[in-house]
Amino acid sequence: MKDCIETQPLRGMRDFLPKDWIFRKKLMQVWSETAEQNGFVRYETPIVESLSLLERKAGEEISDQIYNFEDKSGRAIALRPEITPSMVRIVSGNREAFPSTGKVYSIGQCFRYERASLGRKREHFQWNIDIVGEDSVICEAYLIQTAVLAMKRLGFEKGEFRVRVNNRVLVADFLNTLQITGENALAVMGVMDKKEKVPAEVFTEMLKEIGINEAQIERINAFMLSKDLQTIETFVPADCQGLKDLKQFWDYCQALDLTDYVDIDTAIVRGLAYYTGIVFECFDTKGKFRAIFGGGRYNHLFERLTGKACSAVGLGFGDVVVEELYKDKFGIPEKAEGVDVALGGFGDQAHATLLKLVAGLDETTYTLDYDFKSSAPGKFLGRADKRGAKVAVYIGENELNQGVVMVKNLTNKEQVFVPVSDVVAIVRQFLG
C-alpha cells in the first residue's frame, strides 16, 4: 500500500511496549533512589545541544558517532552522545544552584550512530552520577559503591559482575618507560582500549601502525596482563603517582567493603580521551555482554569547555546491557503489569453505578482498569483476566435487577454479590 507508515522504529532505535515497563520502571526507580540516598542531586539537560559542546578532536569513536544536523537557522546542532559535556555546561553556568559537595545525577537518552549489536543501540538511556570539584580518590570509590548498590538493588549478586579499575596516569608512566609520550601515548591508549575487542594480531597491527616496535608491544602486552598492585609495581617507576592513587583507592574500597566487586586491571583504559586519572568499567563475570557502566576522573574537561579549571569524576550506566543481563537472570515478562481491580458492566445504568464506585476506589491506592465496553459477564471477565486484574467488579442486567454488584477474586475464583455500599470493603478483603 502506498503512503503507509513503517511501523518499526529506525534501525538501532527502540520502542518500549507496555510489558517492557515492568523492568524499566524498576530500573529508573533504582537509579534515582540510589543516587538520592547517597546525596546526589538531580539535573536534566536537553537531548539537543550545540555541536561545538559535544565534538572533540578526532581519534575518539564517540566523536565520529554524533548525530548532527543544521537547524532551520543554520546552527550546527547535535543529539548528545553522552551527558558529561552538558553536565559541565549546566553546573558551570549555575554554580550556586548545586550543593558544594558536588554530587550530581541525571537520567537521559543519548544517541550514537554505531553498529547495533548485543548491548549496543543507536540510542540508550544513561544514568550519570558525577562528583564535581573534589580531588580525593574517595570519590572514585564512592561512585563505584553507588553503582554497585544499584546493581544489588536490581537483584544482581556478588560474583555476577565485577568493576575493573585502572589509572591512566599509571598507564602514561608505564608508556613513558618505553619512551612513548604525548600524543603518541594517547594514541597507544586508544588502541589499548580496543585490546579485548579485537584479535591479538589486529591489536599488534594497530600498534605497529602508530609506530610502536615489537619490543614495546611485548611490554605493553605483559603490562596489560597485570591484575594486582604488586605486579603492576614492577612496570612503573617507584614514585609513580598513578600507582599511589590506585593503592589509596584500594584502601577506600576495603573500607567500603567493595573488594568482592572490584578488581585492579591494567587492561581497562577507556575510549574517551578526556579521562585523566582512575578509570573503570563494570562487566558481567560470564563475559557475555559489553560494559554495564563505565567512568573515571576527568580533571581537564571543565577547563577545556569553560576556561575555568575544576576537577571532576563520574560514571555513565546505560539501560541496554543491564536489561539484557536482567532478562538473562530473571526472564522476560510476557505481558504488561496487571492491575488490582477491573470494573465493567452492561448498559448505561450499570456504568453510571460503576463510575460512582471508581470515585470510591480512587480514594484507595489500588490500581484500576475501567472497561468502557458494555459486555456480558463472560466476555468482561475474559478481558479482566487478560489484563492481569486480581479482582473483577461487574454489574450486568441481573445485578441491576437485584440491586447488587458482582465482585470476583480472580486469583481463587471466589465470587460474591453485594450491595454497592459494600464493594470497597470486599475489594479490600480480596486484595488482603
Using CB under 6 A as the binding rule, whether residue 80 contacts ligand HAM is answered as no
The minimum distance between CB 320 and ligand HAM, in angstroms, equals 4
Q: Which set of grid coordinates corresponds to residue 414?
A: 471466589
Using CB under 6 A as the binding rule, whether residue 89 contacts ligand HAM is answered as no
The minimum distance between CB 149 and ligand HAM, in angstroms, equals 17
Nearer Cβ to ligand HAM, position 124 or 162? 124
Using CB under 6 A as the binding rule, whether residue 126 contacts ligand HAM is answered as yes
Nearer Cβ to ligand HAM, position 273 or 368? 273
Nearer Cβ to ligand HAM, position 269 or 426? 269
The minimum distance between CB 17 and ligand HAM, in angstroms, equals 19
Nearer Cβ to ligand HAM, position 128 or 204? 128
Nearer Cβ to ligand HAM, position 140 or 371? 140
Nearer Cβ to ligand HAM, position 171 or 291? 291
Nearer Cβ to ligand HAM, position 68 or 177? 68
Instruction: Pick one of 151, 321, 423, 424: the residue that binds ligand HAM (CB under 6 A).
Output: 321
The minimum distance between CB 75 and ligand HAM, in angstroms, equals 23
Among 3-11, 45-53, 68-76, 122-130, which window interacts with ligand HAM (CB under 6 A)?
122-130
User: 357-376: b or e for each residue (b if 16 or more CB lie within 10 Å)?
Assistant: beeebeeeebebbbbeeebe
* Window 260 to 319, contacts with ligand HAM (CB under 6 A): 272, 291-295, 298, 314-318
In the 3-class helix/strand/coil scheme, how is the chain assigned residue by residue? Answer: CCCCCCCCCCCCCCCCCHHHHHHHHHHHHHHHHHHHHCCCEECCCCCEEEHHHHCCCCCCHHHHCCEEEECCCCCEEEECCCCHHHHHHHHHHCHHHCCCCCEEEEEEEEECCCCCECCECCEEEEEEEEEECCCCCHHHHHHHHHHHHHHHHCCCCCCCEEEEEEEHHHHHHHHHHCCCCHHHHHHHHHHHCCHHHCCHHHHHHHHHHCCCCHHHHHHHHHHHCCCCHHHHHCCCCCCCHHHHHHHHHHHHHHHCCCCCCEEECCCCCCCCCCCCCEEEEEEECCCCCCCCEEEEECCCHHHHHHCCCCCEEEEEEEHHHHHHHHHHHHCCCCCCCCCCEEEEECCHHHHHHHHHHHHHHCCCCCCEEEEEEECCHHHHHHHHHHCCCCEEEEECHHHHHHCCEEEEECCCCCEEEECHHHHHHHHHHHHC
Nearer Cβ to ligand HAM, position 294 or 345? 294
Nearer Cβ to ligand HAM, position 295 or 345? 295
Window 28-67: contact mask with ligand HAM (x via CB under 6 A): ----------------------------------------
Among 3-11, 120-128, 149-157, 189-197, which window interacts with ligand HAM (CB under 6 A)?
120-128
Using CB under 6 A as the binding rule, whether residue 189 contacts ligand HAM is answered as no
- The single-letter code of the amino acid at 65 is Q
Among 21-29, 48-56, 117-125, 197-205, which window interacts with ligand HAM (CB under 6 A)?
117-125
Window 213-232: contact mask with ligand HAM (x via CB under 6 A): --------------------
Using CB under 6 A as the binding rule, whether residue 124 contacts ligand HAM is answered as yes
Which spans of this chain sit near ligand HAM (rule: CB under 6 A)? Answer: 82, 84, 112, 114, 120-121, 124, 126, 128, 130, 272, 291-295, 298, 314-318, 320-321
